[in-house]
Amino acid sequence: MNRPNILVILSDEHTGSAAGWAGHPQVRTPNLDRLAAHGVSFDRAYTNSPMCVPSRLSLMTGQYVHQIGAWDNGVVPGPDFRSWGHHLTDYQTVIAGRTHFNGPDRTLGFDRRLTDDLDFWIDHSGRPPRRTPDWQRPTNSHVTEHGTGDHVHTQHDVDATDAALQFLNDPGDEPFLLYVGYMHPHFPLVAPPEFRALYDPAEVELPPTWNEPVSSQHPVISLLRHGFRNDEPITEEQMREATVCYWALISHLDHQIGRLLSAVPDDTVVIYTSDHGELAGHHGIWQKQCFYEPAVHIPLLLRHPALAPARVTSHVSLVDVLPTLRDIAGLPADPALPGHTLLDPVDRPVLSEYHAQGMVDGGYMLKSGPWKYCYYGAAHQPQVFNLEADPLEVHDLSSDRWIVDKLDAELRAILDPDATDHRAKSDQATRRASAAD
């Protein structure tokens, strides 16, 4: 069987709407735009967790967060972790750049690694976050630290591209699966000057909800804002500058991706996506950690020589990537995987979940048709939005018991949210005790 070479590119914190092909009037992504024009764009793609490590471990295993116990950013994968490398054994599987794997095993089933994560992003302790109402991030630097300059994240991304290009120059005879992971556009929002110069803060159209008062929000969202210090006011000037720096980091990311795409022939399968989005001031929030669209909606592009260019509106998520890789490699569908191949997408409800700092109880999102259902445990009122009628998610329809009951039943067809929350807290308590020994 002729197995095509595969290049998978993963960015960090790139929201699905912040790109030219996605219709953004200002963000410049010419290389990704060309990839979209020659491939398939999945316009309703979602992360399975709005948090780095949980979403990445979900992506790599093709399993939901609750299936693998990837509750938070402190999780260290155990010996039973099965990544893409364990599945695609007829390929040489190679990593360059950011994976945000914790622990001493730096390949997790891949054959080799060209460059690694930055040291300060690797957690070896397994210690979980503190999930109490009084927890707070030390500062709101994720929005207030912005401007132009050199940053170690930028150099990390350049180094990852350089290493990947060196591999692509002489990959050998075996088919390859090359994964390239980038830091950008993850905060801090310190952008290379030449990319920052592409944007004018005066031309930023601020999100209508950028200064939404904490007092008007759902109690779970209010507590989350407090925990991440997103309840600390920022000026309109800060908001505009942070926004253009975020855009500049996306453009730098696009430039690195352009370097990769120029080195692979047209018959190479290319997948581009991100681990989660960035709220970028929507609802007064920067970062992610909840289920508003900018945090959970992600870009997902697929170029395959057998697929005609298209825009797909089926709901898909990161757990669909591994079934797709298996399909491309000529492997049969694995019934243990909850996802479905993107070569033949099926529209189904999408699950996302969050079990980390800022939320005392577990949070769950079900996206089904136009509906988004956010469940925060029996002690809290859920949130319900109709995204077709209310794309800004400002009209909570959770008083409609019929739609709440319908969506809650769909959620519980996938998992028991309350039992899962109990298991997550129990696992985190055990890890905390172990880390303290």
Helix (H) / strand (E) containing 196: helix 193-196
- Tell whether the model's pLDDT for residue 389 goes beyond 70: yes
**Cβ proximity of 318 and 273 under 8 Å:** yes
Band (pLDDT 50/70/90 cuts) for residue 316 is very high
Q: Does residue 34 belong to any structural domain of this protein?
A: yes
Q: Does residue 183 belong to any structural domain of this protein?
A: yes
What was the pLDDT predicted at 383? 98
- Tell whether the model's pLDDT for residue 1 goes beyond 70: no
Which domain, by its residues, includes 149?
6-347
Q: Does residue 358 belong to any structural domain of this protein?
A: no
Give me the mean pLDDT over the 283-290 stretch. 98
Tens digit of each residue's pLDDT (9 = 90 or more) over 171-227: 999 999 999 999 999 999 999 999 999 999 999 999 999 999 999 999 999 999 999
Tens digit of each residue's pLDDT (9 = 90 or more) over 93-117: 999 999 999 999 999 999 999 999 9
Number of domains in the chain: 1
Give me the mean pLDDT over the 350-360 stretch. 98
Which residues 6+ apart lie within 8 Å of 87 measured at CB? 322, 325, 326, 329, 331, 334
Q: Does residue 357 belong to any structural domain of this protein?
A: no
Tens digit of each residue's pLDDT (9 = 90 or more) over 60-95: 999 999 999 999 999 999 989 999 999 999 999 999
Question: How many angstroms separate the CA atoms of 97 and 121, rounded?
Answer: 12
Question: How many angstroms separate the CA atoms of 127 and 435, rounded?
Answer: 6
Nearest of 348, 342, 158 to residue 256 by alpha carbon? 158
Tens digit of each residue's pLDDT (9 = 90 or more) over 293-309: 999 999 999 999 999 99
The CATH number that applies at residue 84 is 3.40.720.10
Q: Does residue 263 belong to any structural domain of this protein?
A: yes
Q: DSSP state, 188?
A: S
Question: How many angstroms separate the CA atoms of 375 and 383, rounded?
Answer: 7
What was the pLDDT predicted at 433? 94
**Cβ proximity of 314 and 297 under 8 Å:** no
Tens digit of each residue's pLDDT (9 = 90 or more) over 237-261: 999 999 999 999 999 999 999 999 9
Give DSSP secondary structure letters for 395-435. ---TT-HHHHHHHHHHHHTT--HHHHHHHHHHHHHHHHHHH
Q: Where do we find the tokens 């945000």?
A: 100
Whether the link from the prior residue into 188 is cis, omega within 30° of 0, is yes
Q: Does residue 213 belong to any structural domain of this protein?
A: yes
Question: Could you give the percent of the chain with pLDDT greater than 90?
Answer: 98
SS3 string, 201-240, reads HHHCCCCCCCCCCHHHCCHHHHHHHHHCCCCCCCCHHHHH
Give DSSP secondary structure letters for 295-343. HHB--EEEE-TTS--EEEEEEEEGGGHHHHHHHHTTPPP-TT-----TT
- Tell whether the model's pLDDT for residue 268 goes beyond 70: yes
What was the pLDDT predicted at 436? 75
Question: Could you give the percent of the chain with pLDDT greater than 70?
Answer: 100
Helix (H) / strand (E) containing 44: strand 40-46
Give the 3-state secondary structure of residue 191. strand
Tens digit of each residue's pLDDT (9 = 90 or more) over 111-149: 999 999 999 999 999 999 999 999 999 999 999 999 999
Parallel, antiparallel or unpaired: strands 189-191 and 112-115:
unpaired
Q: How many CB atoms lie within 10 A of CB 267?
A: 12
Q: Does residue 337 belong to any structural domain of this protein?
A: yes
Query: In Å, how far are 33, 148, 150, 158, 249 from 194, measured between CA atoms?
Result: 20, 9, 11, 15, 11
Tens digit of each residue's pLDDT (9 = 90 or more) over 404-417: 999 999 999 999 99
What was the pLDDT predicted at 435? 86
**Cβ proximity of 264 and 305 under 8 Å:** no
Tens digit of each residue's pLDDT (9 = 90 or more) over 19-60: 999 999 999 999 999 999 999 999 999 999 999 999 999 999
What was the pLDDT predicted at 110? 98
Q: Does residue 58 belong to any structural domain of this protein?
A: yes
Work out the burial of residue 325: count CB atoms within 10 Å of its CB; fewer than 13 is exposed, 13-18 middle, 19 or more buried. buried
